[in-house]
Amino acid sequence: EAQVTQNPRYLITVTGKKLTVTCSQNMNHEYMSWYRQDPGLGLRQIYYSMNVEVTDKGDVPEGYKVSRKEKRNFPLILESPSPNQTSLYFCASSFKVTYEQYFGPGTRLTVT
Amino acid sequence: KQEVTQIPAALSVPEGENLVLNCSFTDSAIYNLQWFRQDPGKGLTSLLLIQSSQREQTSGRLNASLDKSSGRSTLYIAASQPGDSATYLCAVLNSGGSNYKLTFGKGTLLTVNP
């Protein structure tokens, strides 16, 4: 089944404890991206990757890191999480950026 | 900077009604526009993608139109059903050279009452 998977789906952590949210797609897509969704603010892009080893900042990159060493994986790293990073996170992928976007199921992160 | 607005923010209709959701955008130089559906606590599901050169796309009971010059798109849902209840989001893709940016609206929360 063609899909985008994210892990974990739910995470509660404490301020400053490094964490990684994984994202994987099995559709051989070149383009991948991360979003956060907050009430009243909608979806905002954190980082995106046009292809392997090619990443760039979105609208709200502060406090996040990404890497794209393999085509299928695009992990989101929070080196020192803070409470303002409490949010619902989505990974998305597409064959190329101009094609239909496929979203993962989301990761609900709470930082206390 | 592209801004995408969806009006109304919420809509409640009785089952069987035909309805229209609206999406407007400020920068008409778009590459494409995509409509999504989001169920509570879940990810986004793509419904329709309209290229900038197209006027409309259809899928089952859904029809999306695009008027690029006026910066508007509509999503028409025919014979609505309770299972259509969800938040509907539109997103526009702009390009600037080799850079692309996808901008989302905040969505319309649709409730279809049995």
Looking at CA atoms only, how far is residue A10 from chain B in angstroms? Answer: 11
Q: What would the mean pLDDT of B32-50 be, rounded to a whole number?
A: 94
Longest CA span, chain A: 38
Question: In chain A, which residue's Cα lies nearest the Cα of B104?
Answer: A43
- Whether pLDDT at A9 is above 90: yes
A12-16, A20-24, A98-102, B39-43: segment of lowest average pLDDT: B39-43
Cβ–Cβ contacts within 10 Å for residue B82, how many?
10
- Whether pLDDT at B98 is above 90: no
Averaged confidence pLDDT in chain B: 94
Give tens-digit pLDDT for B61-74.
999 999 999 999 99
Looking at CA atoms only, how far is residue A105 from chain B in angstroms? Answer: 4
